[in-house]
Structures are given as C-alpha cells and as structure tokens.
Amino acid sequence: MQTPLSALGFVLAVSTTLLAQASQRAPSVPSLYDFKTQTLLGKPADLGDYRGKVTLVVNTASYCGYTPQYKGLEALHRELSPRGFAVLGFPSNDFGEQEPGSSKEIAEFCRLTYDVTFPMFSKVVTKPGPDRSPIYAFLSKSGYMPTWNFGKYLIAKDGHVLRFFPSDMTPESPELRKAIADAMK
C-alpha cells in the first residue's frame, strides 16, 4: 500500500517528465536575432550578431518625406553603439514606391547623402503577402505593422519587440530616446 506522500512523489515525477518532453517538442518562439538575411550589398548577415544588444529596426526609403530621419538615426547609432545599441535599416518599396533603386543605388544614396554607417540590409517587403520578409512577419506578431516608411521597432537584448514607433516619431524624440535608454539598462 502506497502512502499519500509516495503517491505525490510519483505524480510529481511523472509531471516533470511530461513537461520536459513537451518542452523538447514545442518549437521555441523565435527572436529577431534568430534570423539570417543579407546586407544591402548582398553579403550573408546573421542577426544573431546583435544578440545582447538593443536594436532599432527601421523600414527605410530614399524618396520619402521622412528620409531626413536618416540623419537622426545615424546620430543615435554613433552615440549609442559603444554602449550596445544598433540601428538596423531595411529598405522597402512598399509605401508610395519611394525606394525604387537597386541595392547599390540605395547604399550610395545613404553613404553620400547621410553618411550612414549603421547596418543596412537587402530590400524587404513589409506588407502581408507571399513575398513578405520573414523578419517583418516576425515583427508584425507584436501587433504592429508599419503603415509607411520609417516605422521603428525597438528590440530588446533578447530579440523580442519592446515597442513600435510610427513614422512621424523622429529619432530625436524624447519618448523614443527614453525607451531606448530604459531598454539598455
């Protein structure tokens, strides 16, 4: 005859085993830092290189009213990158066809016009559909999607979305800068 204590031990052992098996089968929720992509110039890029950093993911365009935000994004990147922060630019032609150029043209425009040094990646589709970037499919699971160029996702050190800032929120905005500072703590 089992005592109540040994029966409880048996139940706990079985429960622990079942939980361990379930966790091995369940796919882990990916983070931004689990994705691989390409740089703007076509070289392989592993976003895992940013694990442990706070990042700001921005869908960019060269011919948009918000394009001057490149200047503020570059300033943020230069100021905060020594402390574990990076701006990550993803050109997109989704809104108003304001990024029609080739990768080479985009890179040249960013370098010559705004002296962009933050990482820029290959052009992506941000809108839902069969050609949508897996990166933007992941980002949109936060409940936010860019509705225009220069939508900004603040990403935590673990690669998960902390906040979304719309296009009209400038890189100089006290609200954005405070959110970045809080994430870097």
HSE, side-chain direction, 13 A CA sphere, residue 65: 6
Please pick, among 37, 63, 64, 162, the residue that the annotation labels catalytic. 64
Which residue bears the tokens 């429960």? 15
In whole angstroms, what is the distance from residue 53 CA to residue 184 CA?
A: 8
Q: Are 91 and 60 in contact (CB under 8 A)?
A: yes
Q: Are 144 and 163 in contact (CB under 8 A)?
A: no
Shortest CA distance to 92 belongs to which of 55, 73, 118, 67? 67
Q: 159: Cβ–Cβ under 8 A, 6 or more apart, which residues? A: 30, 31, 32, 33, 34, 47, 50, 51
110 carries an active-site annotation: no
**Any idea which residues carry the catalytic annotation?**
64
